[in-house]
Structure 1
Amino acid sequence: MDLPYAGIPYGPAPAWCFPLFECGLYLLFILCLVHAAGRGARNVLYILGGLAFGLLLEYMEVLMESYTYGRFWVMLGKAPMDIPLCIGVGWGIIMYTARLFTDRFGLGLLAAAALDTLLALNIDLGMDTVAYRTHMWHWNWVGTGLNPLTAQWFGIPYGNFIGWQTVVFCYSAFSRTFEKWLMRNKTGALKFTAIAVLALLSSLFVLYASEVYLFPFLNKYLGIKSVHRFYGISVILLGLVIVGWGKRKVAAENLPAITWMVPGWFHLFFTACFFILGFYKENTWMTAAACINLLIGVIIHLPGSFKSASQDSVSTAGKIHHTS
């Protein structure tokens, strides 16, 4: 059997892998959009802005030859510079549900944006090692002298995770900032549209400026490489959450089920693929990292899922009793 990429001992993914992942994202996007529609224009435009942002940044990364994509059902653009629609959808629903989760705790702007970012990163750490090995997307290590299965984070460049940190933090922080500035007097769909567009453009600018100017400068003149930036930024984000957590104000509203359904789907799908497709046999450290990351996701989201489910049951029972 011919292998798709040099140094990666895995053939094409099973026929069910790509369609199941893609359809799962589209279904979750519909559920998120329905939920957002019930909460008003701000939420709808936040998730649509996240979708647009995701597509634009993915196209930018493909143009910069950061990575290439496998073949999904719905591709936008012309090969080999095309991108899957479902990836933009994934960005939108991850950022939307992360914000739903953090809004529940009434955190300050920086702490909320930092927690949004860590929640998204928890998903990506479990996703990328599997997606890379199923050839959903591919980083090219040819000519680097590095092993494509062990380079940096088990074959995933640290720069990818820094991109996640930059994207989610900026979109979350800019959205919240522009909401405070523009929503002081009256609300309206036009203002929410302006907020989404401004947050998208500002975040893209920061991402582009960081990747093209800031990070190369840090590497060349200060010796701060991607691994240092990734762990340094992670520590800063965690510090922001810890400081902000003591000042949190828990909101009265319940956590909607969609806040755990989205991360739950990502964790379930990629953890299942990790073991079903035999990737766990490759590297003990990678398996340990995957299990620890999954455990962290469960610890974060499982209590909220039980609580929201039980509260929904009580609410439903109350409505039935009142009706009868």
Structure 2
Amino acid sequence: MQPIYLVFTGAMVLASLGCLWDAVGDREGLTLYATAVVYGLILEKLVIVAFGAYTYPAEAYLFDALGVPLAIAFGWSAVIYAGTTTARAYGVPLPSLPGFVALYALHIDLSMDAIAIRVPFWTWTPPGPWFGVPLGNFFGWFAVAFLFAGWFELLRRRVSHPLALGGGTLVAALGTLLVALELWTTFVESVALGAGILLGLGLLSALALVRWSPTFADRPARSAVAATLLFHLFFIGIFVVTGTHRTLPVLGVVSVAALGVGVGVHALPGRVENLTRRRRTRP
């Protein structure tokens, strides 16, 4: 096993454990975290079996389950937990919360996936137009985060038992995810159409956030912020270590921009608070 895979596993576990640390003592938070871990593992296996668009060099990783590296499941748990708890801290209403979490996930993956395939932590077959990454990957990330967050938030208002909440979320999110991905693979053939769909989904999510805007009543947990920044910093490090900065410098611009978005999103409550204070002190 190459050391880089061990380092990757360690980074994903660390990000996930930071989220677990935040969830300890909160039954619903632990349910969210545990369900996200299981969801990440099962969705990867189902998508690989159903669509076969990418593969993992499972033998290169120290730990795997069902042929899926556990690092991937832990990575999904960190992204989903951090995105969901950030949305809650900001007081994002239910109609716009799934879109917020989906955009949160996408801002992490826009540079991460293109860097990861150059190790490779995974391989796309065939490659796509975004630095070798298919556009369907980004639709998948959007759908994975959107559907999990939407179903979990909807069900937690109706179900209190952790097993019922977690199980119901898994069944509903995985079922609708497979339908969404099947529709994409069946009807989306051109790059232009795929790009248009992705831009449309992003625009609709942004409009929903304008219509049902956050209150910024609280700040997200530091561990959730740290998990997100760890993703960005780790893959920027991989970008340099693998020498990709020499062959694809523009990808470095994308990576730094994504890091800037991550920092900006988590700095929003402070900015809103300062703006509100200034307005109140004006004569």
TM-score range relative to shorter protein: 0.7 to 0.9
Q: 1:210 pairs with 180, 189, 193, which one? A: 180
Gaps of 5+ in 2: 272-283
Report the Cα offset of residue 165 of structure 1: 0.5
Secondary structure at the counterpart of residue 133 of structure 1 = coil
> Partner of 1:3 in structure 2?
none
CA separation in 1, counterparts of 2:265 and 2:69?
A: 29
Report the Cα offset of residue 176 of structure 1: 0.8
Q: How does 1:113-192 map to 2 (within 5 A)?
A: 113-141=98-126, 148=127, 151-182=128-159, 187=160, 191-192=161-162
CA separation in 1, counterparts of 2:93 and 2:184?
A: 28
> Partner of 2:279 in structure 1?
none
**Cα deviations by residue, 1:139-186 (Å, 9 ceiling, x for unpaired):** 022xxxxxx4xx41110011011011101011101111111223xxxx
Q: 2:89 pairs with 97, 104, 110, which one? A: 104
Secondary structure at the counterpart of residue 73 of structure 1 = coil
Q: Are 2:225 and 1:260 equivalent residues in the alignment?
A: yes
C-alpha spacing 1:58/1:216, structure 2 compared with 1 (3 Å): closer
C-alpha spacing 1:275/1:223, structure 2 compared with 1 (3 Å): closer
CA separation in 1, counterparts of 2:142 and 2:12?
A: 21
Q: 2:199 pairs with 225, 231, 236, which one? A: 231
- TM-score by length of structure 2 reads 0.87
Report the Cα offset of residue 67 of structure 1: 0.5
Report the Cα offset of residue 35 of structure 1: 2.0
Supply the RMSD in Å over aligned alpha carbons. Answer: 2.5
The ranges of structure 1 where at least 4 consecutive aligned residues each deviate by more than 4 angstroms after the TM superposition are 302-306
CA separation in 2, counterparts of 1:291 and 1:134?
A: 19
Report the Cα offset of residue 219 of structure 1: 3.1
Contact 2:216 2:269 in 1 (8 A): no
Q: Are 2:30 and 1:62 equivalent residues in the alignment?
A: no
CA separation in 2, counterparts of 1:128 and 1:73?
A: 21
260-269 vs 293-302, which deviates more?
Answer: 293-302
Report the Cα offset of residue 124 of structure 1: 1.0
Q: 2:188 pairs with 212, 215, 219, which one? A: 219
Give the residue type in structure 1 aligned to 2:98: A
Give the residue type in structure 2 aligned to 1:269: F
Q: How does 1:264-275 map to 2 (within 5 A)?
A: 264-275=229-240
**Cα deviations by residue, 1:235-275 (Å, 9 ceiling, x for unpaired):** 21222222222xx3333x54321121111110010011112
Q: 2:64 pairs with 75, 99, 102, which one? A: 75
CA separation in 2, counterparts of 1:226 and 1:124?
A: 17
Contact 1:257 1:305 in 2 (8 A): no
Report the Cα offset of residue 206 of structure 1: 1.0
**Cα deviations by residue, 1:259-312 (Å, 9 ceiling, x for unpaired):** 211111100100111123221222344333223222212222356699xxxxxx
**Larger Rg belongs to:** 1
C-alpha spacing 1:198/1:219, structure 2 compared with 1 (3 Å): same
Gaps of 5+ in 1: 1-13, 142-147, 307-324
**Cα deviations by residue, 1:18-40 (Å, 9 ceiling, x for unpaired):** 111211222332332232122x2
Secondary structure at the counterpart of residue 107 of structure 1 = coil
Give the residue type in structure 2 aligned to 1:181: R
- Give the number of equivalent residue pairs: 269
Contact 2:16 2:227 in 1 (8 A): no
C-alpha spacing 1:276/1:152, structure 2 compared with 1 (3 Å): same
Contact 1:260 1:302 in 2 (8 A): no
CA separation in 2, counterparts of 1:303 and 1:115?
A: 14
C-alpha spacing 1:74/1:107, structure 2 compared with 1 (3 Å): same
Give the residue type in structure 2 aligned to 1:237: S
